[in-house]
Amino acid sequence: MSELLPNYVADQWITGSGAGTGLVDPVTGEALVRVDAQGLDLAGAFDHARRVGGQALRALTYRQRAALLASVAKTLQANRDAYYAIALANSGTVKNDSAIDIDGGIYTISTYAKLGETLGDRTFLLDGEATRLGKEPLFQSQHLQVPTRGVALFINAFNFPSWGLWEKAAPALLSGVPVIVKPATATAWLTQRMVKDVIDAGILPPGALSVICGSSAGLLDQLRPFDVVSFTGSAETAATIRSHPAVTQRSVRVNIEADSINSALLAPGDAPGSEAFDLLVKEVAREMTVKSGQKCTAIRRVFVPAASYDAAAQAIGARLAKTTVGNPRNETVRMGALVNRAQLNSVREGLATLRTQADLLHDGASRPLVDADPAIACCVGPTLLGTRDPDGADRIHDIEVFGPVATLVPYRDLPHALELIRRGQGSLVASVYGSDAATLACTALDLADSHGRVHVISPDVAALQTGHGNVMPQSLHGGPGRAGGGEELGGLRALNFYHRRSALQASTTVLHDVQPAPSA
């Protein structure tokens, strides 16, 4: 029987008391490790994190906590080879896709280490200037932010076991808030190994970082009023979290990132053969195939002028046809597997539903796999659908197929395109491709209210742009409406979630004495 990975709670490595859930290689079907959380003292784990971890972290300044993050990044960097091996076996990803998760996580930690350094030797943050409360300036109000005296619970998705942890943990730890992470079971191995390496290195104070692998049963029951919970996953699970007494009765702060039907738009006036057209085609094909389309930010709908529909279908299909799919251990393979059989079945079911209202423009399911048995491997080729009736095809605007699938959509004019994009009911990101600066600026502003990020690509930034689906720590990650309504990252804005704002009303003398130390 495969190894049972231990959990780390209350500064102890503890294996669950159950048989555990097996993790498998999605390409070969090989059993890898098992995870289980039965029998853990969850109440004790949460109390220890709050009481021991929180107190130790809050005693440090932002600069000191930033130094801890820098050390975490160095430790993870030293163990990259092991992480790549785990990602290959457990997630079935090619090396470039693993890098997005692993190196992306390390980069995010390093970014917050540098940001924390700018905050200096402070233990709290000022929020604006002091404001007088009457005619005389002696009695004033000063808003400030202090670290919440609770624990940060992260319930993460399967597609980014590294980045999903560290993009949340970096700002939490920098804020002075201890972390308990519950990774998605299917890919928990990488998260657990990273936490183990950090714990073994003795970098963080006791109680600052915990990991619980396996079932999430009972975790939400442990949350108390000053705790926070951040979730990435399905809208159904998000609804369950929002309706839990911890949120409805104890007012636990919650951040949600849920389903998102992201869009790419080719602006009017950029015909086939233009640089903007080629940039859109290249990015759509890349977003469909990176991590086998298993990204919350992946492009799901592609909007082009009606006159460009056929040319776009041909150009995108030609690029997809060059993508080899199969065992990522073969150097010729450019796209690996979906994470497991359940996800493969979900993609197939979603495709069947979309095809009731959309045509098949490029069939990825018909291509042979490289060094992989189709009866075992959870692989599916990239599939491009299309519809000439975008107003009547409601399913393409409502259903996200979490895999290498996108739908091409023609539009009459720009107002029509914007109307169709908004039928996604709020998304993480939309990208706009064009050459006219005025049109791009106007379109970006029109999309900003319904998207957490608007990625605008013109030929002058073709070699500089970071990619539609790449989440940079300097920019906001999140989105309104069906995307969950949450906000993460965005530089130092991420610290807001882990702080509590308060207004101090006092004399100018008192307020002067509570000023934080200078950042320099």
- Helix, strand, or coil here: 131? strand
Structure tokens at 465: 């742009």
CA distances from 121 to 127, 175, 396 (A): 17, 13, 51
DSSP 242-299: HTSHHHHTT--EEEEE----EEEEEPTT--TTSHHHHHHHHHHHHHHHGGGG--TT-E
Q: Exactly one of 167, 213, 257, 487 is catalytic; which is it?
A: 257
Q: Chain-centre distance of CA 22, in angstroms?
A: 25
Please confirm, yes or no, whether 296 is among the known catalytic residues. Answer: yes
With residue 446 as reference, give the H or E element that holds it: helix 437-448
The upper half-sphere exposure of residue 388, i.e. CA atoms within 13 Å in the direction of its Cβ, equals 6
Please confirm, yes or no, whether 3 is among the known catalytic residues. Answer: no
Structure tokens at 274: 């233009």
In degrees and rounded to multiples of 5, residue 291 shows phi and psi of 55, 30
First to last CA, the chain: 55
- Sign of the torsion formed by the C-alpha atoms of 120, 124, 125 and 126: negative
Q: What is the DSSP letter of 518?
A: P
Which of 293, 308, 280 lies closest to 410 in space, CA to CA? 308
Q: Exactly one of 167, 213, 287, 296 is catalytic; which is it?
A: 296
- Helix, strand, or coil here: 111? helix
Which of 250, 237, 197, 220 lies closest to 76 in space, CA to CA? 197
Count other C-beta atoms under 10 Å from residue 318's C-beta.
12
Vertex 274, ends 268 and 275: CA angle to 5°?
110
Q: Chain-centre distance of CA 131, in angstroms?
A: 38
Which of 38, 9, 43 lies closest to 221 in space, CA to CA? 43
Residues with catalytic annotation?
A: 257, 296
